[in-house]
Structure 1
Amino acid sequence: MIDTETTGLAPYRDRIIQVSAIRFRDGEPVEKFCTYVNPKKDIPAEASTVNGITNDMVASAPTFPEIVSDLEAFIGDDNVVGHNLIFDIKFLYYSGCNILERKRKYLDTYKQSKRVVKAPSRYNEDADYDVENHKLPTLLEYFGIPTEISHQADSDALATGYLFNELVEQLQFDREYV
C-alpha cells in the first residue's frame, strides 16, 4: 500500500511532503516505511488545511532525493496498491522514483470500489446507490474500517490496505454467487 501527501495537486509544480508504504502479507500489515519529506519550499495554507502537515513538521525532514532509494528498496518487487493510485504514481515519478520501471501489478482501490459499491454518477443520478462517492473516507465509513488521521500518508496507506482486503473479499464473493 502506498500513499503520498503533497503541497498541491500538480506533480510538475508541487512536491511530496510525506510518503508511506506499508507491506501487507496475508491481509495484515507487517512492515512500514513512512517519512515526512522536506519540499524545499513553503507548504501552502490550503494544503496544510487538508493534510495537517506544516512547514515546521518538514523543516528537518530529508528531501525526496535523500529517501527515494530507501523507498524503492522497501517496495522492491511487490505489487503497488493505493487509493486513486495514479495521483501518487505521478508524484513519485515526477519526484524521481523509478517505481514504474519494474514489472508489477498496480491496483487502485478507487477503481476497484466502483465495481463493488454503487455511487451516483452523471449517468445514473436517480438510481439507487450505496455511497455518495468513492473517496477514501466515504468507503472506510461504508465498510466500517477505522482510520487514525485522514490525509496522513501512514494512516491512509494502512486504511487502504484494509479497504483492499474488503474489496477483494467482496469481488470473490460476487464471482462465487453470481
Structure 2
Amino acid sequence: MDDRVQNERITSFVCFDVETTGLSPEKDRIIEIGALKVKEGKIIDKFTEFINPKMKLPGHIVKLTGITDEMIQYAEMEETVIERFLEFAGDYIIMGHNVGFDYSFLKTAAARQHKNFDKMGIDTLLLCRKLLPDTESKSLGSMCRHYQIINENAHRAYDDAKATALLYVKLCNEFYLKKPEIFIPKPMRFKVKKSRSITNKQKNYLIDLLKYHKIESEQSIDLLTQSEASRMIDKIILDKGRII
C-alpha cells in the first residue's frame, strides 16, 4: 500500500484484526493483535503483538494461523498488551472485516482489566453484503481475490488488518458516491457477560482431580470462571470418577 491509503474520503481510523484460541470471548483468549492507524489517508503507525494466553493452543488454531506455542510462550500477558492497544486505538473509529467478532474479544479483554472500549466502527463484511449481494462469498479471502488484493499471510492479524483497509478503499472507490450513507460508522455494541472467577476451593479440587486422573488440561485453570470450573469438574467426575 506504499504506506498510503489512497482515497480522500477516508480520513482517520484504526483497522485491526485479532487471532484467538477459539470463538468464545469469555472462554477463549486473544493470541495476536494486528492493527494499522490511518490519519487523513496516510498510515502513520502500526501495532502487532502476540499475547500469551496461558493455555495450550488448539491444533486447528495452529493449523489455521501458523502461530505455535513456541511463538507465544515468551509473549507478554493480556493485561499488558491490551493496555498498549487501547492507548494505540485512542479515540479513533475502528474498522475490521466482521469487526463485531474482533470487538467482542477486545471489549471482553478490556473489561477484565476494568477498562472501557466503547467505539464507533465500520464493518467491511457488512459493506460487502450490502454492496456486493451477488458475490457468493464475502469472506476476506474471497473479497481480496475479487479485488486482486494480495494478502500473503492470511490469518495473521496485521496482514488481515492491512488487507481489510485496502478492501475498504476499493469499496469506497466503487460505491461511495452512489451510496455514501452505507459507509457511515455505527456504534459498536457488545455486552460483556458478567462472570465470577474460579474460587480457591474449586481451583484446589480441580488441580487434585486432574493429578489423580493424570489429565493434562489445555486450559489455564486460573482463567476459568466458577461456572466453567463446575462444568469441568462435573465432566471429569462423570468420565473418570471421583477421587477415592
Instruction: Tell me if TM exceeds 0.5.
Output: yes
Specify which of 89, 110, 120 is matched with residue 125 of structure 2. Answer: 110
Cα 1:105/1:171, change in 2 over 3 Å: farther
Specify which of 28, 45, 64 is matched with residue 50 of structure 1. Answer: 64
1:154-169 to structure 2, matched below 5 A, reads: 154-169=158-173
Encode CA deviations 1:115-162: one digit per residue, 9 max, x unaligned: 2212xxxxxxxxxx3x32110000011011111200000100000111
Cα displacement (A) at 1:175: 3.9
SS at match of 1:39: coil
Q: Distance in 1 between matches of 2:179 and 2:29?
A: 41
Do 1:27 and 1:162's aligned partners in 2 also have CA atoms closer than 8 Å?
A: no
SS at match of 2:117: helix
2:208 matched to which residue of 1? none
Q: Distance in 1 between matches of 2:110 and 2:40?
A: 31
1:100 partnered with 2:117: yes
Specify which of 155, 159, 171 is matched with residue 175 of structure 2. Answer: 171
1:142 matched to which residue of 2? 146
1:68 partnered with 2:82: yes
The TM-score with structure 1 as length reference comes to 0.85
Q: Distance in 1 between matches of 2:108 and 2:83?
A: 15
1:35 partnered with 2:49: yes
Cα displacement (A) at 1:26: 4.0
Aligned length: 163
Do 2:110 and 2:117's aligned partners in 1 also have CA atoms closer than 8 Å?
A: no
Q: Distance in 1 between matches of 2:171 and 2:41?
A: 12
What fraction of aligned residue pairs are identical, expressed as a percent? 29
Q: Distance in 1 between matches of 2:149 and 2:116?
A: 28
Encode CA deviations 1:27-68: one digit per residue, 9 max, x unaligned: 443210110110000000011111111100100101110112
2:32 matched to which residue of 1? 18
Where does the alignment leave 5 or more consecutive residues of structure 2 unmatched?
1-14, 181-244
Q: Distance in 1 between matches of 2:83 and 2:54?
A: 19
The TM-score with structure 2 as length reference comes to 0.63
Do 1:24 and 1:161's aligned partners in 2 also have CA atoms closer than 8 Å?
A: no
Q: Distance in 2 between matches of 1:174 and 1:139?
A: 20
